[in-house]
Each structure stands twice: as structure tokens, then as C-alpha cells.
Structure 1
Amino acid sequence: MNYRHSMTCYTEGIKVLAPVKWRGLDGLMSVFWDAEGQPGAKGYYLSPDPRIVIFFNDVSPHIRMTNRESGVIDHFRPMMRAVYVPAGVALWTTFTSPHRFSHLDLHLHKDKLLRFLSPSVGSSAALTALRRPVEIQDVGAIETLASLLVDEVSHPSKPAIYAESLVGSIVSGLLDIPDSGSEQPNGRLTQAQMNKLISRINGRSDGRLTVAEMASTVGLSESWFANVFKQTTGKTPLQWQLGKRIDLAQKLLVESELTIADIAAQLGFSDQAHLTKAFRQIAGETPAAWRRMQRLL
């Protein structure tokens, strides 16, 4: 399939630092960028085709993203290491601090993706996966596959099928593919949906999301999400989220010298007493006692 991607793209304050490397394959285009953004730099991207963006360093403290045209600051969220953007979904980005970054863009023809996924998961599940956005911070093996693909894009040395198979593995590992064509088997969230929630929570410095934001992350209505989440975890979304925030508090207590009051403020608790009450409820100890115990281990 002869394929040339088409994307509307506007950037401001972003400078390309090296020649762009690209390679056209059957139904897809691979493009590698090395660039730098200044504080306040921004970008707008809209493609009629699905695409994948994989960053080779952590950009979440420096780049924020939104799919809402208004650009209200509350609508922005940290940019994750790997992002799947469905066809026709607009993306706005802004830099909060200067940052050099490199990333691989994969522009994919919808028919190519359907032909790849449908024999294994069925056409219905494949179409569902193509409509679901994905944002993950823990890229794991996907980064390794992307690095191999960048090497082949930069210095082609193998048949095209090698690069195409790398893309196929990236797609399989990243897209949120329903199990057996069922979006909510047994009224529960899929593991892929839970992974998306965990990645989104981990991308927030305070570990906080509203129930509406959590529901939107996995593509469900707020009321349905609350129901299936309780079926999946045995906890309400906010109870589960509080546990994750206490996990963050424990990490800060061990790895930093922040005071308990500072940790409370960073994680969005109203004050030290609020954190202490929640911490004791979940961990069985006060933060101070828990920190002392860990330092004795």
C-alpha cells in the first residue's frame, strides 16, 4: 500500500536539532525527531489517520497536553511516554519548562491496522481498539522496540518486513484491545484499562483525579465507571485513589527529607492532620512512626 501521511501541524517555540529521519513502509510512516522546546512553546496536531508517539525520555514534568480546544489550564495533563491518538482526534501541547526531547512518530493507515488486528481479535474488537486513546508512562519493552525501529529508520539494513514487524509489536503492546470482543467482560474493567488508570495517576504529582477524569481515561460514563470499578477492585474510585496517594506519601517519606506537612501539601491534603488520619487508616501507623520504622530496617 503506497501511503503518505497527512497531518495538520502548527508549532511555536519548538526547534528541530537534527535532520528528521523517516521511512515509508506498507501502510505506515515512521518519523524520528530530535528537538527542543522553550517555556511557553506550543503545538497543535490533527491527523485523519491514527498515530503513535513514543518519547525516549520522560517529558511529563515539561510538556502538558489536552484534547480540548479551549486550552483552559485545568484541561491539560502531563504528556506520557507513549501515546496512541485515534484518527481525527486533535491534540494541543504546551511546554512549562525548557526541554530537549526525541520521539518516534508512527503514522498508520486505518486499513493497515484493521488487517493486522482483525485476524487475531476480530473486526469488532479491532475497531474498538482503534477508537480508544492510550496514554502510558511505563513504556517497558515498547521503548526497546521503538529504539530498534529508529535504528532501522536511520540506517536501513534489513528487509522492510523487519521494520513492519517491529511496528506490529508496538501496536500490539500499546493499543487497548478488548478481550474476546467484549469491552467490559463480566462487568469489570480490563487489565489494560486498569493499567491506563495507574499510568494516569502516576503521571500526576499529587496522585489526584476526579471520578469524571478517571472515567474519561478508560472511555466510560462516570456512573457506569463507578459501578464496574467497585466490581473490579472492591473499592470505590476515591477509596482506591486514596490508597495510591498514601503509596506516594510512603515513597516520599522514604526517599526524601520533606517534612510531613510538606508531603501533605504536595499530595493535596488539606493539612498534616488530614494526611495523618488517612495514613493511619490505610497503613496502620502515623506517617512519623512509619518513617522511623522504615529507617530502622
Structure 2
Amino acid sequence: MSKPNLRDSSEHLSAVSETNDLPADDRRRADVEMARVLGTAPFRMALDPSGAGIAHWKHEPLHDVVEPMSHHVIMAYNGSTQRMERRSGKSVAIGTFRPGVVIIIPEGSSSRWDIPKPVDVVQLYLPQATLKRIADEAGTAASTDLLERTAHPDPVTSRLLLSAADVLEGNEALDTLFRQQLIDLLATRLLAAHTGAPSTIRPVRGGLAPKTLLRAIERLRSDGAADVSLAALASEAGLSRFHFCRAFKDSTGLSPHAWLRQHQLEQAMNMLRDTDASVVSIAAALGYSSQTAFAAAFRKLTGEAPSDWRKRMR
């Protein structure tokens, strides 16, 4: 492999730096810029309309400049240990990719990356508006400006982000609710650990009023995937998303996503035990994209395939 031309890299960075002050609307979305610079398609990706989302990439060695993006990008590494270099103008950061570290590229920043080996990484794309919303809902006046991080030790954030690659279940309602909860939780963690003035977010105590909890549960039980969103649930309760999630868990012992997953498991068990419906039709009735996705989710929670569980329970 030829040695990277650092002179050309510096000239490129100098040209790119002139665009760093462009309004966010004039920068590339994170998913678009990552596809360009990595030269491949993501292994898996789920985005909200705002561009917030989570992507799992497996890509080849990288020697290129990441140009300014309209979202913060937070990465958790999932692979064998390797050294890497990140260059911003005259500043050079050398780090070690390994599980338990995070990379943070603040919105609008640009840097040259030299990574000599293939990479398996999960990325969070986070709008600045989401960070500000979480800070406002949590009642903290701390800075929402994220720090640039290069292979920075943070096993909590790394573990949370890597969990996203394992919990996409092929069920639109469950996946959307999980992603929304996880993005809010990661934003809370980033405010607490990766800003210029880390904030202390006060715990919220107290559950939902009984009637409010009942309405939230009815929404979660509904057949319409459009009803299963944190925004809709929180609005119905008259709370922010931040406060709703904590109040719901205080009331039920489960997050909204975990409650819905448990509810769907109980539905699946009832249908397997009490009806002759095929596994394919049960998967479709519960909103799974395929029998395979349903079987994988069922096995993850019970340790058995749906057909094996049905035989044992009859």
C-alpha cells in the first residue's frame, strides 16, 4: 500500500475548512457523506426523517478526508485492535481502535483519516436539535457543543451504541421505538460526558398517573405502527420524551420498547398455544418483516424456536 500523500491531504483539508462555517442545510447529511467516503453501502441502517439514525458499516481501509456534515457522528468500534490517525489541519491525533472506545466527529468539522485495516463500526447520526431538546427537557443549562474525540475510552457509550446492531428485530414498530429511545439515551450520555462543560442530569422520579399510564398502554397495544412513537406517547401524556420514558419505567419497571416487546411475546405465545395459525401468519400478524425475523426474536427471548415452543406447550 502506498504511503498517503500528506501534502495533498493538507491542501484538501485547507479547501474543506473554508466550508466548515456553511449553514447545516448546505452540508451533506452524515449518511450521505459516510457512503461517499467509505465507498460502500452500510451493512444495516435505519434513519428518521431528521437524518438521525443508526448505521452499521463494514468497510475497507480508509485514507481520505471526511468533509463537514450536518449531523454529529458518534462511532463505536467492533473489531480487532488497530492503530489509526486523524489529522485536522496541523493537528494530528493517533489513537487505537478497540472495543470500549468512541469516535466523535462534531457537526461541521472535517479531518483526514488513515485507518490501515478493515473496520466494523456502528455509527450514530445525531442532529444538534436533538441534543438541545434533551438538554432542555432535562433542565440543564450546560453546553451542547460536543468535543472531538479520537478513540476515547467510554465503555458506556460504546456498549449502548453497539447494542443497536443486535436489537433490530425486523419489526417496524419495535425497531422504531427502540431506535428513538436509544438515540435519546445516547444524547443524554453525550451531554453528560462529551461536552466542554459536562452536565449532571438530575434523575426524574415518579410514575405516570393511572389514567395516563392506561392511555399509553392502549397506544402501545394498538395495531397502527404510527401510534408507536415516543413523540405520540409523550404528547398524549403531556410530557417531554425525556420525562415520559422515565415515568413509564417507574410505573411499569420496563421502558416503552421493552414493554411492547414483552407484550408481543405474550401475543405470540397465545397464538402458538391456542390457535393452529402458521408461524408465517403469526409473524405477519405481529408486524415482523419475515418468519425468519420473528423466529430470531422469539428465540432470543425464550431460547426456543416458535415451532419447538408450540410442540412443548401442547
Give the TM-score band, short-chain normalised.
0.3 to 0.5
TM-score by length of 1: 0.46
